[in-house]
Chains A and B, each alone.
Chain A
């Protein structure tokens, strides 16, 4: 098994809020290997975006790590100096956000920003950087990149902006690219094209990609492995085929069961999970999913569930799952 390039080790993180704290990540363990595409799936509030932000140390000022580490090539990035961390971002780990509008400053041209993003390349001239940026825009499928370099972000369509954001992220050839809901703001035809592009770029550059999304279709199209999150925990981790064809955690099963795209028969009524997410200001002592779980027994409500290893690269956080 190859060494992880980025690993999240027993990370717990909370956000300070008036009157207490919200425990958004609880003992999360995850390893990203060089060149793989890892999907982080889950619904609103499960902590997936916080986890993505933590991987590049961009969590908000009210975030507080209570335990654990995030290691890039073995080094804990949360212990680096501010300067070192800044050097790391973009160069080693880059990020693509959901809203391609806010990824760029509205007052500078795309070209000027793509040149600025290469500030770490001390040896290169401005001309080199311009050319590198131009080449990258062409690579991500923007026709007439010379013209595009002189445009402002508002002159781009949503799809073009997301392409440009991906170009910006890849400029410094990062080892890990983190994409938080990269296709959510786009139409389905553009979504398909961005998925296709990410797949091609991954093959060309060999960087590891972490895709955070609630869209199970996007994960199925793109990822090698999947981590499913619920209430701040990774509840199941599996290779992509296993996850979709043999889900083991009751939450994963329920989530897949209510995706209308997976239901072949047309039906006027669709399955729902029912119930609500637990309040993470006071995380439940037992399994967080137990109140909504059809398989839950008495111990699920009181005892924290064990992480059951189900095979290589497979585990589930559940009392009831058989190894």
Chain B
């Protein structure tokens, strides 16, 4: 048994462009390309990037919810190719959705919702009611919550129900899409601490998708940064924050407003917007916004350079570290 749980190699996802008519002859839009990433047992990997960078598409592809056009996926040593492969891993993977309240059926009580995974996967649950109460206790919700309906829950409680559902089938991997989006800071910490406790207790691995850098710095062991569907930098969290090598990672970290008026920025860390996916820039995708772009960046796509152990950056000039400021 290796310690690798999930391996993504050269993953590419294309979508047919525009319209609902059959897409024959129309060029495909490239959403993800050449994404190579692995997740070890017991590890927390943070996937960061702006809207439209392909974070959620990557998660969907891993779960087989999105057909892939290139690359291979391996879960626990077994390749994921056919629909039945994915069905098999879906019992061992769980997804926590971004909008926890909306991901719950309004017509199902909390107690029913947390044991629904057993019904979906036709898994033996024993006494469903007892199982539901166990799961609720595990995520710190009192038993009387079982009778409540989603509209009666606070944001934090809805998240906890989402966590309970994710845990129901004792998964090996939990993919959490913006697990604390829309929560207040005081509640956000409770959910993250709960996730950390459960990870320790059950040996879970997490793939956390977020654009919240302040948060991911505290929870992830490693970070992968996506820009326009390309992996631009991956490495150990502490190293990435201390010495980001890709100019995009540097800009992202520098752009985060810091809660200290004495650290106000006078200049702008990054200008412009992510280019539309239909007008993907030539060469390095980031060159249109990059402070250190040169001619080669406009013409040639950079390769992934090895910076250190497990630290890679897709940049022609990864040594040109501009101080993050």
- Cβ A258 vs Cβ B258 within 8 A: no
Contacts of A256 in B (CB 8 A): 259
Q: Which residues of B contact A219 (CB under 8 A)?
A: 259
Return the CB mask of B172-212 against A: 1 if under 8 Å, else 0.
00000000000011111110110010000000000000010
Residue A240 CB within 8 A of the other chain: yes
B51 at the interface (CB under 8 A from A): yes
Please pick, from B193, B237, B257, the residue contacting A191 in the complex, using a CB distance under 8 A. Answer: B257
Nearest Cβ in chain A — how far from B163, in angstroms? 15
Scoring A157, A189, A270, A271 by chain B CB atoms within 10 A of each residue's CB, the highest score goes to: A189
Flag if B214 contacts A273 (CB, 8 Å).
no
Q: A255-B185, A272-B189 are in contact. Are A190 and B273 (CB under 8 A)?
A: yes
A256 to B260 Cα, complex, angstroms: 10
- Secondary structure class of chain B's binding surface, majority of residues: helix
For B219, list chain A residues within 8 Å (CB).
268
Instruction: Establish whether residues B257 and A218, one from each chain, have CB atoms under 8 Å apart when the complex forms.
Output: yes
The listed residue (B189, B217, B265, B270) touching A271 by CB distance below 8 A is B189
| B186 engages A272 (CB within 8 Å) | yes
Residues of B within 8 A of A193 (CB): 268, 270-271
Contact B264 A43 (CB under 8 A): no
Which residues of chain B come closer than 8 Å to A273, judged between CB atoms? 186
- Chain B contacts with A in 229-277, Cβ cutoff 8 A: 237-238, 251-252, 255-265, 268-271, 273-274
What residues of A have a CB within 8 angstroms of the CB of B251 in the complex?
189
How many chain A residues touch B (CB < 8 A): the figure is 47
Q: Which of A187, A190, A276 contacts B154 (CB 8 A)?
A: A276
- Cβ-based interface call for A262 (8 A): yes
A50 to B184, CA, bound (A): 17
CB <8 Å contact, A221 and B214: no
Cα-based distance from A254 to B189 in the complex (angstroms) = 12
Q: Is A260 a contact of B218 with CB atoms below 8 Å?
A: yes
- Taken residue by residue from 75 to 97, chain A's Cβ proximity to chain B (1 for < 8 Å, 0 otherwise) reads as 00000000000000000000000
Separation of A272 and B271 alpha carbons in the complex (Å)? 34
Q: Are A188 and B196 in contact (CB under 8 A)?
A: no
Establish whether residues B259 and A216, one from each chain, have CB atoms under 8 Å apart when the complex forms. yes
Closest B residue to A45 by beta carbon equals B184
Q: Is the CB of B256 within 8 A of A268?
A: no
Asked whether B193 lies within 8 Å of A270 as measured between CB atoms, the reply is yes
Residues of A contacting B301 in the complex (Cβ-Cβ under 8 angstroms): none
Check A215/B186 contact, CB under 8 A, given A157-B273, A269-B193: no
Q: How far is the CA of A20 from the CA of B238 in the complex (A)?
A: 52
Among residues 157 to 193 in chain A, which have CB atoms less than 8 Å away from a CB atom of chain B?
157-160, 187-193
B99 at the binding interface (Cβ < 8 Å): no
- Are A43 and B259 neighbours in the complex by a CB distance under 8 Å? no
Main secondary structure on A side of the interface with B: helix
Is A196 positioned at the interface, with any CB of B under 8 Å from its CB?
yes
State which of A44, A245, A266 has its C-beta within 8 Å of the C-beta of B218: A266
A189, B274: Cα distance in complex, Å? 9
* A245 and B268 alpha carbons, distance in the complex (Å): 24
Query: Would you call A260 and B215 a contact (CB within 8 A)?
Result: yes
Given contacts A188-B50, A188-B256, A259-B214, is CB(A43)–CB(B185) below 8 Å? yes
A128 at the interface (CB under 8 A from B): no
CB pair A188 B268 closer than 8 Å = no
**Contact between chains at A254 and B258 (CB < 8 Å):** no
Is A241 interfacial (CB 8 A cutoff)? yes
Alpha-carbon distance between A218 and B262 when the two chains are bound, in angstroms: 13
B211 and A188 contacting across the interface, CB-CB below 8 Å: yes
Central interface residue in B186, B219, B237, B269, by most chain A CB within 10 Å: B186
Residue from A214, A218, A274 within 8 A of B184 (CB atoms): A214
Is B54 interfacial (CB-CB < 8 Å)?
no
Minimum CB–CB distance for A192 against chain B, Å = 4
In the complex, the answer to whether B258 meets A261 with C-beta atoms within 8 Å is yes
- Residue in contact with B261 in the complex, picked from A160, A190, A220, A255, CB distance below 8 Å: A220
Q: Which residue from A158, A223, A259, A267 sits with its C-beta under 8 Å from B185?
A: A259
A215 vs B215: C-alpha distance in the bound complex, in angstroms? Answer: 13
Q: Is B46 part of the contact surface with A, judged by Cβ < 8 Å?
A: no
- A188-B213, A191-B255 given; A268·B218 CB < 8 A: yes
Asked whether A192 lies within 8 Å of B261 as measured between CB atoms, the reply is no
- Please provide the 6 A-B residue pairs with the shortest distance between their CB atoms, ordered closest to farther: A217-B257, A261-B214, A273-B186, A272-B189, A270-B189, A43-B184
Other A-B contacts than A220-B263, A260-B188, A271-B189, 17 sampled, CB-CB below 8 A, are A43-B185, A188-B211, A189-B255, A191-B255, A192-B255, A192-B257, A193-B268, A193-B271, A241-B262, A245-B260, A245-B262, A256-B259, A258-B186, A259-B185, A259-B214, A268-B218, A270-B218
13 CB < 8 A contacts A-B: A157-B273, A187-B211, A189-B255, A191-B257, A214-B184, A215-B257, A216-B185, A217-B259, A220-B257, A260-B185, A268-B219, A272-B186, A274-B190
Identify the B interface with A (CB < 8 A).
Answer: 50-51, 154-155, 184-190, 192-193, 196, 211, 213-215, 217-219, 237-238, 251-252, 255-265, 268-271, 273-274
Measured CB to CB, the residues of A under 8 A from B are: 43-44, 157-160, 187-193, 195-196, 214-221, 223, 240-241, 244-245, 254-256, 258-263, 266-274, 276
